[in-house]
C-alpha cells in the first residue's frame, strides 16, 4: 500500500496549529512550531491561502484559518438539521433561564438565526428566525467569528456606544472567546440588551453554530458586566448537550 503523502501531513499540521492558536500567527511561529523551514512553511501557507483555507492579514502578515474551512465546517450540518437537533435543548434552556434563546449558523462574518424560543413570560415578542445578526456586535456572532475566522474590516459598523468598531478591539475580544469558550454581549447591538452564547460543535470538534440567550442587561449580567454564573453555566451545559446530539448523529450515519 502507498504511504502517507508528506505535503498533506504538513498542511494538516499547520491547520491544526492555527485552529488551536489563541490568535493569528507569524510565519516564523508556524515554521518553528511544526518544525519546517520558513520556505517550506511559506509554500504550504501560500497554497492554503489560494484555496481559501488560510487567510493572511494584510497589515500584520500573520496567518489564521480562512473562510473556506468555515464553509466546509458549516456544511457538515444542514441548518434545518441543526435546528431539529437543538430544539429539545433550546426549549428547556428558555424555561430554566427565563430568557429568549437563539440558535445560529455562520453566514459570512455574521450569524443567521435558524431557531428561536420565546422568553417564557408571555410578554409581546417577535421571533427573528431568518434574521442575520452582526458578527462583531452580538454574543452569538462573536462566537462564530472566534471559531470561524474571517477577514475583519478595519472599521466596523457602529450600533451603540459600546459596539467594538476597530479590528484591534474585536481581535482581542475573539482571542478571549477562544480561550474561555463563550461570549458575552454588553449592549453592543442594542443598548439595553445583553447576550450570552457558546459554540455548538459537531464531529471532529468543528464549530457548526452557536446557541445563546438574550435579554435585558441587568438580568443577564452583574453590575460589572460579567455574565451571571448560573445563566452562563446553563448556556454552556445546553451547548454541550446539543454537541453530543450532533456527534451521535454523525457517527450513526
Query: What is the DSSP annotation of 8-42?
Result: HHHHHHHHHHHHHSSS-B-HHHHHHHTT--HHHHH
CATH of 6-64, picked from 1.10.3720.10, 1.10.10.10, 3.40.50.10420, 3.40.50.620, is 1.10.10.10
User: Are 198 and 229 contacting, i.e. CB atoms less than 8 angstroms apart?
Assistant: no
How many angstroms separate the CA atoms of 66 and 81, rounded?
A: 24
Q: What is the pLDDT of residues 88-101, one digit of tens each?
A: 899 999 999 999 99
Q: Taking the domains of the chain in order of start, what are their residue ranges?
A: 6-64, 73-252
pLDDT at residue 214 in the model: 95
Say what angle helices 38-50 and 6-20 make with each other, to 10 degrees.
80
Query: What string of pLDDT tens digits covers the 253 residues of the chain?
Result: 455 578 888 888 888 777 766 568 889 989 888 888 999 999 999 998 888 888 888 788 888 877 666 555 444 456 777 888 888 899 999 999 999 999 999 887 889 999 999 988 877 777 788 899 999 999 999 999 888 766 566 668 999 999 998 888 888 898 899 889 999 999 999 999 999 999 998 766 778 899 999 999 999 999 999 999 999 999 999 999 998 888 775 444 4
As assigned by CATH, the class of the 73-252 domain is alpha beta
pLDDT in tens, 159-184: 999 999 888 888 889 889 988 999 99
Predicted pLDDT at 64: 82
Q: N- to C-terminal Cα distance for the chain?
A: 28
What count of other Cβ atoms lies within 10 Å of the Cβ of residue 248?
11
- Phi, psi (rounded to 5 degrees) for 197: -140, 155
Tell me what pLDDT residue 237 has.
Answer: 96
Task: Judge if pTM exceeds 0.75.
Answer: no
Amino acid at each position: 500500500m502507498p504511504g502517507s503523502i508528506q505535503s498533506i501531513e504538513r498542511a494538516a499540521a499547520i491547520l491544526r496549529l492555527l485552529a488551536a492558536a489563541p490568535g493569528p500567527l507569524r510565519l516564523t511561529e508556524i515554521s518553528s512550531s511544526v518544525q519546517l523551514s520558513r520556505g517550506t512553511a511559506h509554500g504550504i501557507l501560500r497554497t492554503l491561502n489560494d484555496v481559501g483555507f488560510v487567510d493572511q492579514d494584510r497589515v500584520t502578515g500573520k496567518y489564521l484559518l480562512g473562510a473556506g474551512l468555515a464553509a466546509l465546517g458549516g456544511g457538515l450540518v444542514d441548518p434545518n438539521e441543526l435546528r431539529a437537533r437543538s430544539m429539545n435543548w433550546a426549549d428547556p434552556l428558555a424555561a430554566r433561564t427565563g430568557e429568549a434563546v437563539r440558535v445560529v449558523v455562520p453566514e459570512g462574518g455574521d450569524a443567521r438565526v435558524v431557531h428561536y424560543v420565546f422568553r417564557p413570560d408571555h410578554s409581546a415578542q417577535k421571533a427573528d428566525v431568518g434574521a442575520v445578526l452582526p458578527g462583531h456586535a452580538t454574543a452569538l456572532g462573536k462566537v462564530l467569528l472566534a471559531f470561524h475566522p474571517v477577514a475583519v474590516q478595519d472599521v466596523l459598523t457602529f450600533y451603540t456606544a459600546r459596539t467594538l468598531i476597530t479590528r484591534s478591539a474585536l481581535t482581542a475580544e475573539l482571542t478571549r472567546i477562544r480561550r474561555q469558550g463563550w461570549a458575552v454581549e454588553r449592549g453592543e447591538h442594542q443598548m439595553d440588551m445583553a447576550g450570552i452564547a457558546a459554540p455548538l460543535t459537531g464531529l471532529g470538534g468543528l464549530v457548526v453554530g452557536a446557541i445563546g440567550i438574550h435579554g435585558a442587561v441587568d438580568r443577564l449580567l452583574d453590575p460589572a458586566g460579567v455574565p451571571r454564573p448560573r445563566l452562563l453555566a446553563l448556556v454552556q451545559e445546553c451547548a454541550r448537550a446539543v454537541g453530543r446530539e450532533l456527534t451521535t448523529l454523525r457517527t450513526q450515519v
